[in-house]
Amino acid sequence: MTWLDALADKAIDLAPPTREEALAVLGSSDDDLMDVVAAAFRVRRQFFGRRVKLNYLVNIKSGLCPEDCFYCSQRVGSGADVLKYSWLKTDEVLASAEAGVAGGARRVCLVASGRGPTDKDIDRVASTISAFKSRNPDVEVCACLGLLSDGQASRLADAGTTAYNHNLNTSGGHYADICTTHEYADRVSTVESAKSAGLSPCSGLIAGMGETDEDLVDVAFALRALSPDSVPVNFLIPFDGTPLAGEWTLTPQRCLRILAMVRFVCPSAEVRLAGGREIHLRTLQPLALHVVNSIFLGDYLTSEGQPGAADLAMIADAGFTVEGADAGAPPAAAPAADQVHVRRRGAGTAIPANT
């Protein structure tokens, strides 16, 4: 039995790895990468089979945030050329959310920029969620509105909200290096408040912000201590006009190791492949499905993702099934005659080759 076999066995038994084992996953070589993915897949398969849950983001208030999170394109003083608008009307939110549901999403995530909502904002969002749930009672709704004040989580729960997202993002020791307008403890407190109100806790991280392996392990264990049902793993999108614009340190292989480490630390959590996956995993995205069991469909808050149809094709081609999909439905993007293209360039023609 290898150390990875033993690590997978521990995770299946819901026993935490040691810090040394978690660091070993991050420090493993590219030669061992497929063994790392295979061990993580054993854990993923134990708790989630071959199902992939689809989630859909709706940015209901974009940009104009007073916080200075260094990674964020919506931060105060951001020079990123992203969409900026105030609260969407209820019918606009419903139209966007239901487009995601039509694409196969089992959860819609309503996200608003800002430090945190006012009570009037909570009224607005709660009303929208109630309207959505009346039309889509079987679809989960996750709210992500920033830091919560007393009683706000309970009001969201009363409106039919399923979950609340507030990411820890990085370790407590690294937090001051990525934000100065609020503290790491504020984030922990918001997750705990949401959980106490009966909302499903959703909290994750952003990798690629100049953190060390120790920081990644610290935040993974901090997340485990909070017992979130969902753990989104984001990979930094270094927007021009933000302080972290030059942070291009991730490789597809490192992203896979980070995902695997999170799976071993939080074995039964819904580990979600989130922002930046197309940019940093690139052609290795399908391998990540052997570690995670959840992804965002289509676009993100301020950046575009790959088309939803491409997501569905990737899931089918990798041998996974979309959670909640009709078992008798044909595979997405099945081979068709119109995918065969006769060569009209290169050798024997005057047109440059495809190089």
Tokens 């830091």 found at: 147
Tokens 């920033």 found at: 146
* Residue among 109, 144, 179, 255 flagged as catalytic: 109
* Residue among 44, 69, 75, 257 flagged as catalytic: 69
Active site residue 142: yes
* Residue among 42, 44, 124, 142 flagged as catalytic: 142
Active site residue 202: yes
Q: How many CA atoms lie within 13 A of 112 on its CB side?
A: 23
Report how far apart the first and last C-alpha atoms of the chain are (Å, whole number): 45
* Residue among 44, 124, 272, 277 flagged as catalytic: 272
CA gyration radius for the chain? 21
* Residue among 44, 65, 144, 263 flagged as catalytic: 65
Residue-wise DSSP of 229-277: SEEEEEE----TTSTTTT-----HHHHHHHHHHHHHHSTTSEEEE-TTH
d(CA 160, CA 153): 11
Active site residue 144: no
* Residue among 144, 179, 202, 255 flagged as catalytic: 202
* Residue among 44, 72, 75, 144 flagged as catalytic: 72
In the numeric block, which tokens belong to residue 315?
């899931």
In the numeric block, which tokens belong to residue 290?
């052997």
- Determine how many CB atoms are found less than 10 A away from the CB of residue 296: 25
Active site residue 255: no
Q: What residues act catalytically?
A: 65, 69, 72, 109, 142, 202, 272
